[in-house]
């Protein structure tokens, strides 16, 4: 009998008649049946979250709240291998990635925000007006209230906890929905919350789809106070419309079509390895992945050849094998989308340097949703494959001649999440970094995160920043208090 995943509402695991299948993208086998939360379930979760705000949760000290976050972190740590298995089964990601990135970051997110709230300060100003009156102005952070958190499938526990942890840290209550593709790790987090005795209603998990299902029921519920969402830009736009009348606060982490720029003076080996990593980590399913690579013409041919060699050495295989580098795409539907871009690239005139097809294993994996890592060259700047987010294991390499040209090419994009720059010229590195229209720029590295720093994008890549005090700002209502000093 397969596993049953239920929603977690007001401290209870809640069944539902309406269920959907959660399958493993490695070979299409069933992982679990998942209960789809109805509108009534979502309304109950929001009502429980609202009620919990005026229960003990609303009265505890910052230090006590931090303790709850430490307990959640310890609870994940205690069931580390369960979380690893959940991530690997739901996504087919290599186990080495789940062990070193996804689950450790899930733990770190709770510890980090617990540490942060214990040491955070707020602003204070001494004020003098023209008539000689004096005042002290200080800032108070209060919870927003009930936060609806909606997350995607590509980094399930990492992104789910990146929302839940700061929301709870700031004293909110949460109704959270993981992607329908990856319900398992969120379901485990609900079990952890239950095991440690987190007060009922503080953290609720509802499972289901987006439009006309659980996600939309959340965003259309008038009693939520804010929506934190990570996912596609188009979904962000739909959610924005859903919450517009109620004027809810939103934090949106959306899509990307990120550029990597390699100058002629880059450390060649480091740049090749770095760009292979930034293009194909998690099978290209990271919002930060570089789908557009710009390489100085003087090293272009050598760079393309070296990328091809390194990419072809990546191991596509059993995710539980520690040697595996590349897993499948998240679903057959997503594989279909990526394959349609592989076809489109040919029609748009691309040269396929490597990949460009799905692999054939001759075993059960042929029922899975695999795509070979693909490198293209030769597309014109206006090709759809160079402008639209594919979100798969693909990158296009374009030659450039000078800095002005590459800055213009990199910025000619509807998205603006992240850029990476590879050069040993320190002055150029800072100069070009400052000219990128993106929320994040990495120099001689990629996806290196310090949780204190702002994370987010410009243009179609999002609204707002999360991370460190930026998360504290979003997840709290900031009140200015002005005290006249006699
Ligand atoms: P998606 O937008 O399809 O779904 C994300 C979540 O939103 C899911 O839980 C889904 O059920 C829910 N949803 C869908 N429609 C909804 C609606 N109408 N109302 C409420 N909820 C709805 O995205 P995805 O395919 O799961 O994730 C991939 C996308 O996420 C890519 O575009 C990627 O770039 C982006 N992403 C961005 C970041 C970032 O930090 N900027 C991080 C990871 C992923």
DSSP character string of 251-292: EEE----EEEEE-TTS-HHHHHHHHHHHHHGGGG-STT-EEE
Whether the Cβ atoms of residue 103 and residue 87 lie closer than 8 Å to each other: yes
Query: Cα(205) to centroid of ligand 1, in Å?
Result: 17
Q: Closest Cα partner for 393 from 414, 373, 376, 375?
A: 373
d(C-alpha 372, C-alpha 370), whole Å:
7
The verdict on the CB of residue 391 being under 6 Å from ligand 1 is yes
Best residue among 42, 210, 369 to mutate for probing ligand 1's pocket (most ligand atoms within 8 Å of CB) is 210
**Averaged over 234-263, what is the pLDDT?**
98
pLDDT at 310 (0 to 100) = 98
Tell me the sheet residues that pair with 354. 375
Query: How do residues 313-335 score in pLDDT, each as one tens digit?
Result: 999 999 999 999 999 999 999 99
pLDDT at 18 (0 to 100) = 97
| C-alpha neighbours within 13 Å on the C-beta side of residue 453 | 11
Q: Is it the case that residue 110 has pLDDT exceeding 80?
A: yes
Atom of ligand 1 nearest to the CA of 236: 2
249-253 and 462-463: which strand pairing? antiparallel
Whether the Cβ atoms of residue 185 and residue 160 lie closer than 8 Å to each other: yes
Query: Cα(248) to centroid of ligand 1, in Å?
Result: 19
pLDDT tier for residue 96 given thresholds of 50, 70 and 90: very high
What whole-number percentage of the chain has pLDDT above 70?
Answer: 100
The verdict on the CB of residue 180 being under 6 Å from ligand 1 is yes
Query: How do residues 52-61 score in pLDDT, each as one tens digit?
Result: 999 999 999 9
The verdict on the CB of residue 252 being under 6 Å from ligand 1 is no
Whether the Cβ atoms of residue 222 and residue 148 lie closer than 8 Å to each other: no
pLDDT at 176 (0 to 100) = 99
Best residue among 90, 207, 221, 232 to mutate for probing ligand 1's pocket (most ligand atoms within 8 Å of CB) is 232
Supply 110's token pair: 């709770």
**Averaged over 436-441, what is the pLDDT?**
98
**Averaged over 368-383, what is the pLDDT?**
98
Whether the Cβ atoms of residue 420 and residue 258 lie closer than 8 Å to each other: yes
pLDDT at 486 (0 to 100) = 81
d(C-alpha 378, C-alpha 262), whole Å:
17
Whether the Cβ atoms of residue 200 and residue 52 lie closer than 8 Å to each other: yes
pLDDT at 278 (0 to 100) = 98
The verdict on the CB of residue 256 being under 6 Å from ligand 1 is yes
**Averaged over 21-43, what is the pLDDT?**
97
Q: Closest Cα partner for 260 from 276, 281, 249, 248?
A: 276
Q: Is it the case that residue 22 has pLDDT exceeding 70?
A: yes
Tell me the sheet residues that pair with 463. 252
Atom of ligand 1 nearest to the CA of 181: 26
- CA gyration radius, the chain: 23
pLDDT tier for residue 1 given thresholds of 50, 70 and 90: low
Q: What secondary structure letter does DSSP report for 78?
A: H
At residue 202's C-alpha, the angle toward residues 199 and 203, to 5°, is 115
Query: Cα(259) to centroid of ligand 1, in Å?
Result: 21
Q: How far is CA 300 from CA 323, 359, 371, 397, 401, in A?
A: 30, 27, 25, 9, 10
Query: Cα(438) to centroid of ligand 1, in Å?
Result: 19
d(C-alpha 207, C-alpha 241), whole Å:
22
pLDDT at 2 (0 to 100) = 76
**Averaged over 59-87, what is the pLDDT?**
98
Edge-first strand order for the sheet with 440-443 is 351-354, 374-377, 394-400, 290-296, 258-262, 418-422, 440-443
Helix, strand or coil for residue 322?
coil
The verdict on the CB of residue 153 being under 6 Å from ligand 1 is yes
| C-alpha neighbours within 13 Å on the C-beta side of residue 148 | 31
Instruction: Look at ligand 1, atom 37, and give the residue with the nearest C-alpha.
Output: 254
d(C-alpha 123, C-alpha 439), whole Å:
25
Q: Is it the case that residue 363 has pLDDT exceeding 90?
A: yes
pLDDT at 280 (0 to 100) = 98
Atom of ligand 1 nearest to the CA of 208: 11
**Averaged over 164-180, what is the pLDDT?**
98
Confidence (pTM): 0.97
At which residue do the structure tokens 């609806």 appear? 148
At residue 155's C-alpha, the angle toward residues 35 and 429, to 5°, is 160
The verdict on the CB of residue 150 being under 6 Å from ligand 1 is yes
440-443 and 19-23: which strand pairing? unpaired
Supply 102's token pair: 């996804």
Q: Is it the case that residue 247 has pLDDT exceeding 90?
A: yes
The verdict on the CB of residue 216 being under 6 Å from ligand 1 is yes
Supply 111's token pair: 């510890």
Query: How do residues 173-197 score in pLDDT, each as one tens digit?
Result: 999 999 999 999 999 999 999 999 9
Supply 322's token pair: 């520690």
The residues that are catalytic are 253, 287
pLDDT tier for residue 30 given thresholds of 50, 70 and 90: very high
**Averaged over 350-367, what is the pLDDT?**
96
The verdict on the CB of residue 255 being under 6 Å from ligand 1 is yes
Could you tell me which residues come within 8 angstroms of residue 91 by beta carbon, excluding any fewer than 6 positions away?
25, 153, 154, 156, 181, 182, 327, 330
């Amino acid at each position: 009998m397969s596993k049953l995943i239920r929603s977690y509402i007001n401290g209870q695991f809640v069944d539902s008649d309406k269920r959907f299948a959660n399958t493993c993208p490695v070979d299409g086998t069933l992982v679990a049946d998942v209960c789809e939360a109805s509108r009534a379930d979502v309304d109950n979760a929001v009502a429980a979250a609202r009620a919990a705000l005026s229960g003990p949760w609303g009265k505890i000290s910052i230090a006590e709240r931090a303790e709850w976050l430490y307990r959640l972190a310890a609870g994940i740590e205690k069931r580390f291998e369960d979380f690893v298995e959940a991530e690997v089964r739901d996504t087919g990601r290599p186990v080495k990635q789940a062990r070193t990135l996804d689950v450790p970051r899930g733990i770190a997110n709770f510890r980090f925000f617990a540490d942060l709230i214990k040491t955070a300060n707020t602003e204070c100003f001494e004020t003098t007006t023209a008539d000689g009156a004096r005042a002290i102005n200080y800032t108070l952070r209060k919870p927003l209230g009930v936060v609806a958190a909606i997350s995607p499938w590509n980094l399930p526990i990492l992104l789910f906890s990146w929302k839940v942890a700061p929301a709870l840290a700031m004293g909110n209550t949460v109704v959270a929905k993981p992607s329908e593709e990856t319900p398992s790790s969120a379901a485990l987090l609900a079990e952890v919350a239950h095991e440690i005795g987190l007060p009922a209603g503080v953290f609720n998990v509802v499972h289901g789809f987006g439009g006309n299902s659980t996600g939309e029921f959340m965003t259309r519920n008038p009693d939520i106070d804010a929506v934190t969402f990570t996912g596609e830009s188009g979904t962000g736009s739909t959610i924005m419309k859903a919450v517009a009348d109620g004027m809810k606060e939103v934090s949106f982490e959306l899509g990307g079509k990120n550029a990597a720029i390699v100058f002629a003076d880059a450390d060649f080996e480091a740049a090749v390895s770095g760009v292979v990593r930034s293009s194909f980590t998690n099978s290209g399913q990271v919002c930060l992945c570089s789908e557009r690579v710009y390489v100085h013409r003087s090293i272009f041919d050598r760079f393309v050849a070296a990328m091809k060699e390194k990419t072809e050495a990546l191991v596509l295989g059993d995710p539980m094998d520690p040697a595996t580098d590349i897993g499948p795409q998240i679903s057959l539907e997503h594989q279909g989308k990526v394959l349609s871009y592989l076809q489109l690239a040919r029609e748009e005139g691309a040269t396929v340097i490597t990949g460009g097809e799905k692999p054939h294993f001759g075993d059960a994996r042929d029922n899975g949703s695999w795509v070979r890592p693909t490198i293209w060259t030769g597309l014109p700047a206006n090709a759809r494959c160079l402008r639209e987010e594919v979100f798969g294991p693909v990158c296009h390499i374009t030659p450039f001649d000078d800095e002005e040209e590459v800055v213009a090419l990199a910025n000619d994009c509807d998205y603006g999440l992240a850029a990476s720059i590879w050069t040993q010229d320190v002055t150029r590195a800072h100069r070009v970094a400052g000219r990128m229209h993106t929320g994040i720029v990495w120099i001689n590295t990629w996806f290196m995160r310090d949780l204190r720093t702002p994370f987010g994008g410009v243009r179609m890549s999002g609204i707002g920043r999360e991370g460190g005090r930026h998360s504290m700002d979003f997840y709290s209502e900031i009140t200015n208090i002005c005290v006249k000093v006699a």
